[in-house]
Amino acid sequence: MKSVKDTYMHVFLKKNGTQEIIIKNKYPELHDSIYKYTKNLIDINWNERLYLFFTQSSPLTCKNCKKPSKFNSIGAGYFSFCSRKCINDYAKTNTNKKKKIQETLLKKSSIEVSKKFGMNITSLPNKYFLIKSNCEHGDVLIKRKVFNKIYKSEIKIYCFKCREKYLLSDNKLDVSLMKQKINTIPNSDLGQIEYLKLNHLDIFKTICDHSLHISDISWAERIYLFKNSLSFLPKCKKLECNKKVKFNHSMMQYNNFCNIHSNTSNQELELRQIILNFGEYTEKYKDKKYEIDIFIPEKHIGIEFNGIYWHSEKFKNKQYHYNKWKYFNDKKIKLITIWEDDWNSKQDLIKSMIKNQLMLNENKIYGRKTEIREIDFKTSKEFLEKNHIQGNSLSSIRLGLYHNIELISLMTFGKRNIGKKTQFELLRFCNKQNTTIVGGASKLFKYFINNYNPLEVISYANLDISNGKLYDTLGFTNEGHTGVNYWWVKDKRYHRSNFMKHKLVAEGADPAKTENEIMRERGYNKIYGNGNLKFIYRNVK
């Protein structure tokens, strides 16, 4: 049986707690329990009561003067000291005491470690071990956590001189054995040179020896060459081209083509070839400020292919993608952004989108030859998953456009109440792949206005694929840019809503840490998009 505290823990995990009036009305049992627990405390605020109840603790006192400490926040709890003066006084009086305790612990630690490992080891205050007489060259200084890790694995501890001597030796190791051993090491550890030098010097030496004759390449490239038994760097696969190719760090392999013939990635080359197959001439656009990967001058359309590694926050700042979109939009060039993970999973849909933007769809249907039907959620979901780059979205109104018995276009809406005002949102609109419906969007939107009579409709244009021209046609007003959006990225992009702080804490993350801190500890990076334009339609009667 869960306690009241455990039952309502989600309330405590909300940022800055929850207002007392809400808890009193929504969770009366919890409200009574909080006041019962803190009944002897008079002059404290609601957040402090909430903190004490959920942490099952009492108010703290100053470490120095023992007076009551001030309450900071639900996330941080109480301050350790009541004033800056107490912090300084405490530091002065406890410095010598702290030093004596530290010396005693270090001495005790040195004796225990020496007995345990049968070595003459001294603990140092900076988290290092000094191993005395480790080898012919004398003592070795090593981090404690590194020592513990490699000693458990029964790996020989090399000093700097021994390590250099080993690496310069002519000893040839069994390559097949080293390849088996390398497969047991996680890629994250394999990519760290210092880790290999300390833990797997034999593997480090074998990889170095294999590509010793090649200079100016990264460690990841040396690993790739060794794993694939390559003695020389791969060359461009374009006929009669013998140029070097770049190493793709996100894919951990070499590109098939050189800079001239690949323009940074194999996927981008595929995309360029597809556009050429459509019969469109392409080139690389470049001016003093920006460049476009694929530019179709006759249509004033540019296509950007964004790899999820090189376009993450490691290399591109928060405003980079939006600033670039705006720069070319001001020059009357429509910029379409294709993300690497979308290309890998939704290639047919992206090809259809590009054909539509280039006005190359052969299948053209006029809106007057279609009929409108309101459809169920399942049919809507299947159509959106197949034909919209953002996939499905929850909706309450789903209007389908049918030609004969086939669904060829879809527009969905949601409804929300803001005070006494009801506002609708146009959530999704798309046509069947490789199909143009002339006047289809206008017909669907007009049906919605006539049958649902909304006072106001809002919608957002995703600047990755749209510049909002459709909304102008439908009679919307541009309310401006909503700010850049972001995803969390690892092997692909993940929507930020999957990693809201309360969800991370529910999974066991430290509630004192921020979303950014938790996600980066898990190996994720942020990747910023172009954001959206907000549009509003006002139904003037």
pLDDT digits (tens, 9 = 90+) for 395-434: 999 999 999 999 999 999 998 777 667 789 999 999 999 9
Q: Same domain for 408 and 516?
A: yes
Residues 496 and 383 in one domain: yes
Domain edge (last residue) among 50, 82, 114: 82
Position 123 confidence tier, pLDDT thresholds 50, 70, 90: low
Pair (435, 468) in one structural domain = yes
In this structure, the strands spanning 247-248 and 138-143 are unpaired
CA–CA separation, 88 vs 84, rounded Å?
6
User: Are residues 125 and 180 part of one domain?
Assistant: no
User: How many whole angstroms separate alpha carbon 151 and alpha carbon 37?
Assistant: 50
User: Do 73 and 91 have their domain in common?
Assistant: no
- Nearest 5 degrees, angle CA 455-CA 456-CA 462? 160
**Who wins on pLDDT, 397 or 120?**
397
Question: Nearest to residue 437, comparing CAs of 390, 393, 478, 470?
Answer: 470
CB 147 within 8 A of CB 129: yes
Q: What are 70-115's pLDDT values in tens digits?
A: 888 877 788 888 887 887 777 777 666 555 545 554 454 545 445 4
The domain total for the chain is 4
Q: Which of 139, 163, 187 is the endpoint of a domain?
A: 163
pLDDT for 187-208, tens place per residue?
777 777 777 776 777 888 888 8
> Where do the H-state alpha helices sit in 130-247?
144-152, 160-168, 175-182, 187-190, 193-199, 201-210, 219-227
pTM of the model: 0.54
Based on the fold, state whether residues 387 and 511 are members of the same structural domain.
Answer: yes
User: In 10 A of CB 94, how many CB atoms?
Assistant: 13
Has residue 46 been placed in a domain?
yes
pLDDT given at position 317: 92
What would the two tokens of residue 474 be?
A: 């439908």
Residue 254 lies in a domain: no
372-386: pLDDT as tens digits: 999 999 999 999 999
Domain that holds residue 143: 87-163
Same domain membership, residue 497 and residue 407: yes
Domain CATH number, residue 398? 3.40.630.30
Tell whether 514 and 371 lie within a shared domain: yes
Q: Do 75 and 99 belong to one domain? A: no
pLDDT, residue 37, reads 84
| Gap between the Cα atoms of 142 and 407, Å rounded | 69
**Does 21 fall in a domain?**
yes
Residue 349 inside a domain? The answer is no
In the chain, what is the straight-line distance between the N-terminal and C-terminal CA atoms, in Å? 58
Mean per-residue pLDDT, 221-227: 88
Residues 107 and 188 in one domain: no
Q: Is residue 339 part of a domain?
A: no
> Is the model's pLDDT at 124 over the cut of 80?
no
Give the integer Cα–Cα distance in Å for 528 and 448: 34
pLDDT at 96: 60
Cβ atoms within 10 Å of 312's Cβ, excluding its own: 21
Is 409 or 233 the better-scoring residue by pLDDT?
409
Q: For residue 26, is it within any domain? A: yes
Instruction: Write the Ramachandran bin of 216: left for phi over 0, alpha for psi from -120 to 50, otherwise beta.
Output: left
CA distance 55 to 5: 9
pLDDT band at 1 (very low <50, low <70, confident <90, very high): very low
- Give me the chain's average pLDDT, please: 81
Who contacts 363 (Cβ-Cβ below 8 Å, separation ≥6)? 434, 435, 436
Same domain? For 442 and 498 the reply is: yes
- Whether 211 is in a domain gets the answer yes
The domain boundary residue, chosen from 34, 60, 82? 82
- Decide if 61 is inside a domain: yes
- Same domain for 372 and 482, yes or no, is yes
Contact predicate 533/486, CB 8 Å: no
